[in-house]
Every structure is written in C-alpha cells, then in structure tokens.
C-alpha cells in the first residue's frame, strides 16, 4: 500500500511565509537531518519511495489551461489557511498502521528548542485502479 505523508507548518500571521523560516539555522539543520535519517532507514527497509521539501507558499503558483491549451499562471487565490504544506513523502508499506508509525517519526522532527515539534502529518493512501474498485 502506498501512502503520501504530508507535513504542514503554520504560517506567520497575515503572511505567506512559514513560521519555520524564523527557526535558528541549527534548528533547521537538525530538522533536515532528522528527516534524512528517517528517509535513509525507510530506504533500507524498501519502504521509502520519494519525498521532498517545498518552497514557501509565497512562491507557489496556480496553473490552469487556457482554451488554446497554453498555461495561465496566477498567484492564487489560495484557500484561507493557518497552515501550508511544508514537505511530503511517498512510502510503500504493508499496512495503514505502519504508515501511521512512520508519520509519527516525521512528526517528531526537532523544533527550534530541540524538543520534538510534533508537526501535523496528513496520511493519505495513494489510489490505484485496483484500490479505487475496492
């Protein structure tokens, strides 16, 4: 079963910049090292498929297709939200319970004070033709 794990981070009040942008450099480096270690361990077990961090929401764009098929690129509108997608991982595991265990490990990324930040992780199954029929 494949799952997408999505880490959200709070936005700064009234801004499009993530609050984690204000973390000290050491905290950001520790956070990245934590996620890298989890990815490496999952790669060793064959459960890691892919993943990555995402740029700040202020750099995001919406793209729609014009009538002639060419792209129309805009800055939004974005849904009103207090959180924004920070990064994601695709994993291939035997059960949803295992996906939850892995999500909890990513959630425990160190925060600015070194303690687990307990970032929210959304867990969504990646659908295939066979899973959609079930």
Count CB-CB contacts under 10 A for residue 124: 12
Query: pTM of the full predicted structure?
Result: 0.82
> pLDDT category, 10, cuts 50, 70, 90?
confident
Token digits for 11?
A: 């936005």
| Tens of pLDDT, residues 60-114 | 888 999 999 999 999 866 666 677 888 999 999 999 999 999 999 999 999 888 8
Choose among 82, 101, 83: nearest CA to 91.
Answer: 101
- Other Cβ atoms less than 10 A from the Cβ of 42: the count is 20
Residue 2: pLDDT over 90: yes
Average pLDDT, the chain: 87
Could you tell me how many residues make up the chain? 134
The helix (run of H) or strand (run of E) holding residue 16 is none
Q: How far apart are CA 70 and CA 98, in angstroms?
A: 42
- Burial (CB count within 10 angstroms: exposed 0-12, middle 13-18, buried 19+), residue 86: buried
Residues 6+ apart with CB under 8 A from 26: none
Six-digit token pair at 28?
A: 């950001």
Note the CATH number of domain 2-128. 3.30.70.1060
Q: Residue 118: CB partners within 8 Å, gap ≥ 6?
A: 107, 108
Q: What is the pLDDT of residue 20?
A: 75
């Amino acid at each position: 079963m494949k799952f997408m794990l999505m880490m959200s981070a709070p936005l700064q009040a009234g801004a499009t910049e993530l609050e984690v942008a204000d973390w000290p450099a050491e905290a950001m480096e520790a956070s990245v090292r934590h996620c890298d270690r989890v990815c490496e361990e999952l790669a060793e077990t064959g459960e890691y498929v892919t993943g990555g961090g995402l740029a700040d929401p202020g750099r995001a764009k919406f793209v729609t297709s014009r009538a002639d098929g060419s792209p129309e690129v805009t800055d939004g509108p974005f849904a009103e939200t207090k959180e924004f997608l920070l990064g994601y991982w695709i994993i291939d595991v035997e059960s949803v319970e295992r996906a939850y265990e892995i999500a909890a490990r990513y959630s425990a990324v160190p925060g600015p004070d070194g303690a687990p930040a307990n970032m929210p992780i959304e867990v969504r199954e990646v659908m295939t033709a066979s899973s959609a029929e079930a």
